[in-house]
Amino acid sequence: MSDEEHQFESKADAGASKTYPQQAGTIRKGGHIVIKNHACKVVEVSTSKTGKHGHAKCHFVAIDIFNGKKLEDIVPSSHNCDVPHVSRADYQLIDISEDGFVCLLIENGNNKDDLKLPTDDALLTQIKDGFAEGKDLVVSVMSAMGEEQICALKDIGPK
Protein backbone atom coordinates (compact mmCIF):
# COMPACT_ATOMS: atom_id res chain seq x y z
CA MET A 1 0.00 0.00 0.00
CA SER A 2 1.07 3.51 -0.71
CA ASP A 3 1.50 6.10 2.04
CA GLU A 4 1.01 9.13 -0.20
CA GLU A 5 -2.34 10.85 -0.45
CA HIS A 6 -4.17 11.04 -3.73
CA GLN A 7 -5.01 14.47 -5.12
CA PHE A 8 -8.30 14.74 -6.98
CA GLU A 9 -8.96 17.66 -9.27
CA SER A 10 -12.68 18.16 -9.61
CA LYS A 11 -13.88 20.42 -12.40
CA ALA A 12 -17.50 19.23 -12.26
CA ASP A 13 -20.43 20.10 -10.02
CA ALA A 14 -21.85 17.71 -7.44
CA GLY A 15 -23.06 15.45 -10.22
CA ALA A 16 -26.73 16.11 -9.59
CA SER A 17 -28.75 15.47 -12.70
CA LYS A 18 -31.15 18.06 -14.10
CA THR A 19 -33.74 15.32 -14.67
CA TYR A 20 -34.75 11.94 -13.29
CA PRO A 21 -36.45 9.01 -15.08
CA GLN A 22 -40.08 8.12 -14.42
CA GLN A 23 -42.29 5.59 -16.16
CA ALA A 24 -44.57 7.36 -18.68
CA GLY A 25 -47.69 5.57 -17.41
CA THR A 26 -47.24 7.06 -13.92
CA ILE A 27 -46.99 10.74 -14.99
CA ARG A 28 -50.24 12.59 -14.27
CA LYS A 29 -51.87 15.90 -15.07
CA GLY A 30 -50.19 18.68 -13.07
CA GLY A 31 -46.84 16.86 -13.05
CA HIS A 32 -43.73 17.83 -14.98
CA ILE A 33 -42.07 16.25 -18.02
CA VAL A 34 -39.25 17.08 -20.44
CA ILE A 35 -40.43 17.41 -24.05
CA LYS A 36 -37.90 18.40 -26.75
CA ASN A 37 -35.42 19.49 -24.05
CA HIS A 38 -37.94 21.88 -22.42
CA ALA A 39 -39.22 21.57 -18.85
CA CYS A 40 -43.02 21.42 -19.13
CA LYS A 41 -46.08 21.16 -16.89
CA VAL A 42 -48.51 18.45 -18.02
CA VAL A 43 -52.02 19.78 -18.75
CA GLU A 44 -53.52 16.67 -20.37
CA VAL A 45 -52.71 12.95 -20.45
CA SER A 46 -54.54 10.34 -22.51
CA THR A 47 -53.67 6.65 -22.72
CA SER A 48 -54.51 4.51 -25.73
CA LYS A 49 -54.42 0.73 -26.01
CA THR A 50 -52.92 -0.65 -29.22
CA GLY A 51 -53.07 -3.95 -31.10
CA LYS A 52 -51.90 -7.48 -30.22
CA HIS A 53 -48.16 -6.84 -30.03
CA GLY A 54 -48.05 -3.08 -29.42
CA HIS A 55 -47.55 -0.98 -26.33
CA ALA A 56 -50.15 1.17 -24.65
CA LYS A 57 -49.21 4.75 -25.52
CA CYS A 58 -49.44 7.93 -23.41
CA HIS A 59 -50.20 11.16 -25.21
CA PHE A 60 -48.92 14.17 -23.24
CA VAL A 61 -50.00 17.77 -23.83
CA ALA A 62 -47.82 20.11 -21.79
CA ILE A 63 -46.91 23.79 -21.50
CA ASP A 64 -43.30 24.98 -21.25
CA ILE A 65 -42.86 26.46 -17.75
CA PHE A 66 -40.54 29.21 -19.02
CA ASN A 67 -42.05 30.44 -22.31
CA GLY A 68 -45.65 29.17 -22.16
CA LYS A 69 -45.51 27.26 -25.48
CA LYS A 70 -47.69 24.17 -25.88
CA LEU A 71 -45.79 20.94 -26.64
CA GLU A 72 -47.01 17.39 -27.29
CA ASP A 73 -45.36 13.98 -27.07
CA ILE A 74 -46.45 10.35 -27.45
CA VAL A 75 -44.50 7.76 -25.42
CA PRO A 76 -45.12 4.05 -24.78
CA SER A 77 -46.49 3.80 -21.23
CA SER A 78 -43.89 1.22 -20.18
CA HIS A 79 -40.95 3.42 -21.25
CA ASN A 80 -39.19 5.98 -19.07
CA CYS A 81 -39.54 9.74 -19.57
CA ASP A 82 -37.29 12.45 -18.22
CA VAL A 83 -38.86 14.51 -15.43
CA PRO A 84 -37.15 17.79 -14.52
CA HIS A 85 -36.16 18.76 -10.97
CA VAL A 86 -38.30 21.90 -10.58
CA SER A 87 -37.74 24.16 -7.59
CA ARG A 88 -39.23 27.44 -6.52
CA ALA A 89 -37.63 30.03 -4.21
CA ASP A 90 -38.67 33.45 -2.94
CA TYR A 91 -36.25 36.39 -2.94
CA GLN A 92 -36.66 40.04 -1.95
CA LEU A 93 -36.27 42.53 -4.81
CA ILE A 94 -33.56 45.12 -4.12
CA ASP A 95 -33.01 46.88 -7.44
CA ILE A 96 -33.82 46.85 -11.16
CA SER A 97 -30.99 47.87 -13.51
CA GLU A 98 -31.41 49.69 -16.84
CA ASP A 99 -30.28 46.64 -18.83
CA GLY A 100 -33.22 44.53 -17.56
CA PHE A 101 -31.50 42.59 -14.78
CA VAL A 102 -32.79 42.45 -11.21
CA CYS A 103 -30.84 42.44 -7.96
CA LEU A 104 -32.32 40.02 -5.42
CA LEU A 105 -31.52 39.41 -1.75
CA ILE A 106 -30.79 35.77 -0.93
CA GLU A 107 -31.50 34.33 2.54
CA ASN A 108 -27.79 34.22 3.45
CA GLY A 109 -27.51 38.00 2.90
CA ASN A 110 -25.76 37.91 -0.47
CA ASN A 111 -27.09 39.41 -3.70
CA LYS A 112 -28.21 37.53 -6.80
CA ASP A 113 -27.61 39.67 -9.92
CA ASP A 114 -27.80 37.17 -12.81
CA LEU A 115 -31.58 37.11 -13.34
CA LYS A 116 -33.44 39.04 -16.04
CA LEU A 117 -36.88 40.61 -15.73
CA PRO A 118 -39.68 38.27 -16.87
CA THR A 119 -40.92 38.32 -20.47
CA ASP A 120 -44.58 38.18 -19.36
CA ASP A 121 -45.88 41.75 -19.87
CA ALA A 122 -48.43 41.71 -17.01
CA LEU A 123 -45.87 40.50 -14.45
CA LEU A 124 -43.23 42.88 -15.84
CA THR A 125 -45.47 45.96 -15.38
CA GLN A 126 -46.49 44.78 -11.87
CA ILE A 127 -42.83 44.50 -10.85
CA LYS A 128 -41.79 47.83 -12.39
CA ASP A 129 -44.82 49.74 -11.01
CA GLY A 130 -44.48 48.24 -7.52
CA PHE A 131 -40.76 49.00 -7.43
CA ALA A 132 -41.34 52.57 -8.64
CA GLU A 133 -43.92 53.08 -5.85
CA GLY A 134 -41.31 51.97 -3.29
CA LYS A 135 -43.11 48.81 -2.18
CA ASP A 136 -41.27 45.87 -0.62
CA LEU A 137 -41.61 43.13 -3.25
CA VAL A 138 -40.83 39.42 -3.01
CA VAL A 139 -40.45 37.55 -6.32
CA SER A 140 -40.80 33.79 -6.79
CA VAL A 141 -38.10 32.29 -8.98
CA MET A 142 -38.72 28.94 -10.67
CA SER A 143 -35.69 26.94 -11.71
CA ALA A 144 -35.38 23.76 -13.75
CA MET A 145 -32.75 22.25 -16.05
CA GLY A 146 -30.26 25.09 -15.52
CA GLU A 147 -32.79 27.84 -16.33
CA GLU A 148 -34.27 30.35 -13.90
CA GLN A 149 -37.12 32.79 -14.34
CA ILE A 150 -39.26 35.06 -12.18
CA CYS A 151 -42.75 33.55 -12.19
CA ALA A 152 -44.71 35.37 -9.46
CA LEU A 153 -44.74 38.47 -7.30
CA LYS A 154 -45.82 39.19 -3.72
CA ASP A 155 -46.21 42.58 -2.10
CA ILE A 156 -45.13 42.57 1.55
CA GLY A 157 -46.02 46.21 2.20
CA PRO A 158 -44.35 49.62 1.89
CA LYS A 159 -40.65 50.05 2.75
Q: What is the pLDDT of residues 75-127, one digit of tens each?
A: 998 899 999 999 999 998 888 888 888 888 888 888 888 888 888 888 888 88
Listed in sequence order, the residues at least 6 apart from 159 whose beta carbon sits closer than 8 Å to its beta carbon are 134, 135, 136
pLDDT of residue 14: 52
Q: Which of 48-57, 63-72, 74-83, 133-142 has the lowest mean pLDDT?
A: 48-57
DSSP-based helix, strand, coil % in the chain, nearest 5: 10, 50, 40
Backbone angles phi, psi at 131, to 5 degrees: -70, -40
Listed in sequence order, the residues at least 6 apart from 86 whose beta carbon sits closer than 8 Å to its beta carbon are 32, 39, 65, 142, 143, 144
Answer whether residue 60 shows pLDDT above 50: yes
pLDDT band at 157 (very low <50, low <70, confident <90, very high): low
Of the two residues 12 and 93, the one the predictor is more confident about is 93
Average pLDDT, the chain: 85
pLDDT of residue 117: 85
Answer whether residue 5 shows pLDDT above 70: no
Of the two residues 151 and 50, the one the predictor is more confident about is 151
pTM score, whole prediction: 0.76
pLDDT of residue 2: 54
pLDDT band at 7 (very low <50, low <70, confident <90, very high): low
